[in-house]
Amino acid sequence: MDQIAPSPEATTGPLVVALAYDGLCTFEFAIVAEIFGLPRPEMGPGWYRFATAAVEPGPLRAHGGLRFEAEGGPELLERADLIVVPGWKGADVPVPAELAAMLRRAWERGARLASICSGAFVLAATGLLDGRQAATHWRYAEALAARHPSLTVNASVLYVEEGRVLTSAGSAAGLDLMLHIVRADFGLAAANSVARRLVLPAHRRGGQAQFIERPVPPAREGRLSALLDAVRAEPGRDWTVAAMAREAAMSPRTFLRRFIATTGLPPAEWVAAARVEEARRLLETTRLPVEEIALRAGFGNALALRRHFRARIGLAPRAYREGFG
């Protein structure tokens, strides 16, 4: 940050309160302070006010070997217009019932609640996400869904807005969500101005799917492992059900039953996923034309590659190469 954050009284706009806790996720907190806490006189006196609320006694620790004390405490939640949970101590760390109750009371009086990354576990503990969608880091998606089966976890997007409850994916996706809030509150020009100051695009293409590692479901038993290795090694082959059944020395009917039981997917869907992974590898590590990559990965043509790639990754192949190549 390039200046000290102003006090909540320096401007007259919505009061944004970031939660602070022992084990604070430093980067996620810094996102909130950077977006809402810096002086921005060009935005006028109606810009956000910003404060930090420690939800447990200090001094507190933050990632990176830091110790800190926040100027405010839980009382700030009673007058906040927007409360942001910048991560949480861990996916397996319980959320204090008192904290969940305070957040729910804030929402009931009209405040917005937002989270970054694992902060979704805190908002889920309030019950306000029940029956709604939520985003979190893709590594935590299964744990969040298992702990809170009443909500739907969307592990593909950068953020989700469900009325006055907003959640974002991992770490840097918090920037996307905070810029979205600025855009909703002050308009596109304001969001673009903040983004330029951060040297960021005001809106990123694609979603979280482009960052997920190894999206091809592995085999859960060894019977078909040799066949799956062969498909990964030569995705460009004509892997029809009949060809795969012959490779596995099974009848097509037996093969289909065992393949789905082993991988959890029909053969065509699994093969398409393996081909997308090969295309992704080639886009990252070579300068081959997209048309050539489509052939090597087994899609036959660039149009088919683009269709499957966008469906699984959320970006066109060329856009993916720009970001990861």
Is the pLDDT confidence value at 240 over 60? Answer: yes
Tokens representing 155 are 């592990």
Backbone angles phi, psi at 49, to 5 degrees: -100, 150
Is the pLDDT confidence value at 271 over 80? Answer: yes
The angle formed by the CA atoms of residues 141, 146 and 150, to the nearest 5 degrees, is 100
pLDDT band (50, 70, 90) for residue 203: low
Q: What is the pLDDT of residue 205?
A: 58
H-assigned helices in the chain: 26-36, 97-108, 120-125, 141-147, 173-186, 188-198, 225-233, 241-247, 252-263, 267-285, 290-297, 302-313, 317-324
d(C-alpha 77, C-alpha 79), whole Å:
5
Structural domains in the chain, sorted by start? 15-209 (3.40.50.880), 225-324 (1.10.10.60)
Residue 10 makes CB contacts below 8 A (sequence gap 6+) with 39, 49
Cis previous bond, 59, omega within 30 = yes
The model scores a pTM over 0.75: no
**Lowest-confidence region among 65-79, 107-121, 146-160, 194-208:** 194-208
d(C-alpha 102, C-alpha 85), whole Å:
13
Helix 267-285 to helix 225-233 angle, to the nearest 10 degrees? 40
Is the pLDDT confidence value at 269 over 50? Answer: yes
d(C-alpha 175, C-alpha 196), whole Å:
13
Q: Is 271 exposed, middle or buried (0-12, 13-18, 19+ CB in 10 A)?
A: buried
Which of the listed ranges 190-204, 234-248, 255-269 does the model predict with the highest average pLDDT?
234-248
Is the pLDDT confidence value at 182 over 80? Answer: yes
Q: What is the pLDDT of residue 4?
A: 39
Which residue, 143, 83, 92, 76, is CA-closest to 116?
Answer: 83
More confident residue, 226 or 111: 111
pLDDT tens readout for residues 187-202:
888 988 898 888 776 6
Q: What is the pLDDT of residue 223?
A: 63
d(C-alpha 36, C-alpha 15), whole Å:
9
Q: What is the pLDDT of residue 3?
A: 40
- Give how far Cα 295 sits from Cα of 236, 241, 276, 290, 322, Å: 7, 20, 12, 9, 20
Which residue, 120, 61, 65, is CA-closest to 95?
Answer: 120
Backbone dihedral region for residue 165 (phi beyond 0: left; psi -120 to 50: alpha; all else: beta): beta
Is the pLDDT confidence value at 204 over 80? Answer: no
Q: Is 137 exposed, middle or buried (0-12, 13-18, 19+ CB in 10 A)?
A: buried
d(C-alpha 115, C-alpha 305), whole Å:
35
Q: In what order do the strands lie in the sheet with 165-168?
A: 49-54, 15-20, 82-86, 112-116, 165-168, 159-162
Q: What is the pLDDT of residue 224?
A: 82
